[in-house]
Amino acid sequence: MRAMLLRKPAPLAERPRPLEAAEVPAPVPAAGELLVQVSVCGVCRTDLDLAEGRLAAPAYPLIPGHQVVGRVAAAGPGAAAFREGDRVGVAWIHSACGRCRWCAAGFENLCPGFRATGCDVDGGYAEFLRVPEAFAHAIPAGLDDAAVAPLLCAGAVGWRALRLANLDDGEPLGLTGFGASGHLVLQTARHRYPRSPVYVFARSPGEREFARQLGADWTGDTADAPPQPMMAVIDTTPAWKPDLAALLHLAPGGRLVINAIRKEAGDRDELSRLDYATHLWREKEIKSVANVTRADVREFLQAAAELKLSATHTEVPLDEANEALGWLRSGQAIRGSRVLRVADD
């Protein structure tokens, strides 16, 4: 099968094309697993973290990709939840142990045995992948493959971040960074908290205009002061500078939710500017988002279908995966997501 392989991570400045097009054997589903023929796979900033080595895989070569939509091509022994031809999604959560105290409490995203698609196991930058059937997600009717792919990570993790923000309707919400996840969080928040003003912080005038088109009540640059202090801010950037600015503008008792699996080291010195009295005092909180659960993915897919949400995206062929990663690295204004087209519908 065709696949894009990551053999060794390195900064894109040193190796602009980290993925290698290759022919590799198609996977064979084991007991309880599905073989999925990939239609599309979204490109996520976590894929860039893997390519550049901020996030390490346990083994290489690796096939990245964890926002996968495809169709069941075969089932391993004992797998009977789906039929051949059913449309399914595969997300970042590939599996969890199901036995530890975190799994028992509904926090399988924190499971010590958590395994990630496209990191711990091969992912969707390929014609086929395999997944435990319990971790495959039925795609609601009416959602286009390419538009739904980013919902599986950017959308689902944004859904989790919005819940962790612990917002009451009417309280101000801030979004810092306005890429793949931010534009979905904004649309969801407009429905979930209709009385809450949403303030968007983004460096690019184009991103700020995009946020206004989607219903933001105010937009500004990262360091700009919003109209009023916010009770929650969701950060989706790879940098620390926006977090300090967000803490500065949180209301007492407010919460900063950092929705990023890794932060880049480039502006780590910004953390030396953290001042307890200015940024954290008065019971402000910082909360990280770690992975997603199956419930996050399925709840958000259902909400997206009901609210008719759609990810703004640009489709590119699988063999342009390197260009898609380069687009993320470039720091250009990011309007939605890049989605790799692997097979025709």
Summarised one tens digit per residue, pLDDT across range 194-225 is 999 999 999 889 899 999 999 999 999 998 99
**CA 215 – CA 255 distance, rounded (Å):** 22
- Which class for 124: exposed (0-12), middle (13-18), buried (19 or more C-beta within 10 A)? buried
Q: Provide the residue ranges of all domains of the chain, joining segments of one domain with +.
A: 2-153+292-341, 156-288
User: What pLDDT is recorded for position 51?
Assistant: 97
pLDDT of residue 309: 84
* DSSP-based three-state secondary structure for 43: strand
The two three-digit tokens of residue 233, written as one number? 């801010």
The model carries a pTM of 0.93
Interval 266-309: pLDDT, tens: 677 788 888 899 999 999 999 999 999 999 999 999 999 998 88
Q: How buried is 90 (Cβ within 10 angstroms: 0-12 exposed, 13-18 middle, 19+ buried)?
A: buried
pLDDT on residue 310: 74
Q: Which of 52-56, 83-87, 161-165, 180-184 has the lowest mean pLDDT?
A: 180-184
The enclosing H or E element of 145 equals helix 145-148
**Euclidean distance between CA atoms 77 and 29, whole angstroms:** 8
Q: Sorting pLDDT into bands at 50, 70 and 90, what band is 230?
A: very high
Query: Given this model, what pLDDT does residue 142 score?
Result: 85
Q: How confident is the model at residue 336 (pLDDT cuts 50, 70, 90)?
A: confident
Name the residue with higher pLDDT: 328 or 320. Answer: 320
- Which of the listed CATH numbers 3.40.630.190, 3.40.50.1000, 3.90.180.10, 3.30.360.10 matches domain 2-153+292-341? 3.90.180.10
| Residue showing tokens 């924190």 | 110
Task: Provide φ and ψ at 334, rounded to 5°.
Answer: -105, 110
Q: How far apart are CA 95 and CA 115, in angstroms?
A: 5
pLDDT for 308: 86
First to last CA, the chain: 17
Model confidence pLDDT, tens digit, residues 129-179: 999 999 999 999 988 999 999 999 999 999 999 999 999 999 999 999 888
21 DSSP 8-state letter: E
pLDDT for 345 equals 62
96 and 115 Cβ atoms separated by less than 8 Å: yes
Nearest residue to 69 via CA among 122, 147, 121: 147
User: CB atoms < 10 A from the CB of 179, how many?
Assistant: 23
| Mean pLDDT value of segment 32-40 | 98
What does the pLDDT average to over 35-49? 96
User: Which pLDDT belongs to residue 334?
Assistant: 61
Give the number of other Cβ atoms within 10 Å of residue 164's Cβ. 18
- Average pLDDT score, the chain: 94
At the fourth CATH level, which superfamily is domain 156-288?
NAD(P)-binding Rossmann-like Domain (3.40.50.720)
